[in-house]
Structure 1
Amino acid sequence: MSAYTKGRDAFEHGCYREAVESFLQAIALVNRNSPLDGEMQMWLVTAYQAAGQQQEAISLCRKLQMHAHWETRKQSKRLLYILEAPQLEKKSEWLTQIPDLSDVNEEDVNERMGVGTFTPSVPKPHPPEPEPIDWSQVDTKESNIVGVALIALLLVLGGLVWLG
């Protein structure tokens, strides 16, 4: 595996110091001022920055503004603008504090979260069915109120037809 590929892999896996070393080895092996040299050095700038070596990143970026390859010059100018930008102040209310959970064991978490205490609910019994109606016991003879209501309804309808 080439030093350049090894450096990119290390960078992508968060091993920034290892990436810096690999990029330095790779740059020593390529033709100076070639497009590949410019690409490798741009990777080195980002690796420096990710490794916390801000001054080295800025210094290299300034040198790359004079690189023979125009794309490298253009990219280094843009990256230098970002690297030299003032850092914004981070207010505490903007940040979320993540608690340290390194000394919490799994049993405590399960106990606090109620894991493992689930008991399935017992199905509710169906309400009893109503007793069937014994129609022989029900008085089904017409009451006077039904007759009076029917007569009143017929009178109202008749009046509407006669007037309408």
Structure 2
Amino acid sequence: MDDKLEQFYLKYQAGQDLLQRGQYRLSVQTLEEAKALINLSSRLGGDVQMFLVTAYQGVGRLEDAIAVCEELTRHPNLEIRQQSQQVLYILKAPKLKRPDAWMTKIPNTNPEATDNPSYLQAKPTSKPPEKPPLELEDLSKINTEDNAFIWVALGLLLIILGGLAWL
């Protein structure tokens, strides 16, 4: 394998990994570097550009994503052409207005992933209320005067069971 192709594979794989981890800005940079190292009319050239479309979407560069997809609709590989046409159809679809109540805010748990779109960033929420501490009951204040019923019921039960044992 020649050096240029080896560099391509390293950048291509790194760009995919960054994309999967949500580091879109770094993914765009790495995939663009990989794109410069390969023949764009090859199958691999089409693949790297399709990943680049997704990375562009991640950083909010929708116009760039659409432009790459439009170029790929004329790609020599049939599968790349079909895939780019499907993605282009989705990218050009009209955006529907959704009420905020339908949306779930996803907090950013990765402090290093600062290149996520702003709509995925969670707004600070108030601290949940603390539970009140448990109060211990003073056992000397429990009313035990009404417990005579329990002793009477227990005595009657013993008499009944004793009577049944003699039968």
Compute the TM-score of the two structures, normalised by the length of structure 2: 0.63
Over aligned residue pairs, what C-alpha RMSD do you find? Answer: 3.2
Give ranges in structure 1 of 5+ residues lacking alignment: 136-164
Alignment of 1:39-50 (within 5 A): 39-50=47-58
Q: Distance in 1 between matches of 2:155 and 2:34?
A: 94
Alignment of 1:100-119 (within 5 A): 100-101=124-125, 104=127, 109=128, 112-114=129-131, 117-118=133-134
Q: Percent identity?
A: 33
Q: Distance in 2 between matches of 1:122 and 1:61?
A: 75
Aligned equivalent of 1:89 = 97
Counterpart residue identity of residue 24, structure 1: E
User: Where do 4+ consecutive residues of structure 1 move more than 6 Å?
Assistant: 120-125
SS in 2 for 1:57: helix
- The higher radius of gyration belongs to 1
Aligned equivalent of 2:165 = none
Alpha carbons of structure 1 residues 99 and 20: separation in structure 2 relative to 1, 3 Å: closer
Aligned equivalent of 1:141 = none
Q: Distance in 1 between matches of 2:11 and 2:71?
A: 22
Counterpart residue identity of residue 88, structure 2: L
Q: CA deviation at 1:50?
A: 1.2
- How many equivalent pairs are there? 126
Alpha carbons of structure 1 residues 8 and 121: separation in structure 2 relative to 1, 3 Å: farther
Alpha carbons of structure 1 residues 65 and 114: separation in structure 2 relative to 1, 3 Å: same
Counterpart residue identity of residue 113, structure 1: E
Alpha carbons of structure 1 residues 32 and 100: separation in structure 2 relative to 1, 3 Å: closer
The yes-or-no answer on 1:75 pairing with 2:99 is no
Aligned equivalent of 1:6 = 14
Q: CA deviation at 1:32?
A: 2.8
Counterpart residue identity of residue 82, structure 1: I
Q: Distance in 2 between matches of 1:47 and 1:99?
A: 24
Q: CA deviation at 1:120?
A: 7.1
Q: CA deviation at 1:92?
A: 3.8
Give ranges in structure 2 of 5+ residues lacking alignment: 1-8, 106-121, 160-167
Aligned equivalent of 2:110 = none
Q: Distance in 1 between matches of 2:123 and 2:38?
A: 47
